[in-house]
């Protein structure tokens, strides 16, 4: 099966920041329900916190950049 741009999964680890995941995927929450990203945001994908500081775990809220 050949990948196309629409079904390509990209995981990018940002230095000192989150793991950003873009592409065709589903995130299942602890309640067993799929997480639906906010489509009104300018970027697509999901950013997962790697530093443990986010108040919106497991998602990044930018806290890694705060003193």
59 or 6, which is more confident: 59
Note the maximum CA span of the chain: 47
pLDDT, mean of residues 16-40? 83
The label of the residue with tokens 């629409």 reads 6
39 or 24, which is more confident: 24
pTM for the model? 0.70
Give residue limits of the domains in the chain. Answer: 1-66
Q: Are 41 and 49 in contact (CB under 8 A)?
A: no
pLDDT at 52 over 50: yes
């Amino acid at each position: 099966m050949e990948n196309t741009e629409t079904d390509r999964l990209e995981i990018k680890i940002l230095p000192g920041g989150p793991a950003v995941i873009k592409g065709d995927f589903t995130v299942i929450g602890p309640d067993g329900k799929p997480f639906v990203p906010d489509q009104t945001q300018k970027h697509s994908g999901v950013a997962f916190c790697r530093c443990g500081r986010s108040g919106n775990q497991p998602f990044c809220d930018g806290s890694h950049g705060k003193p």
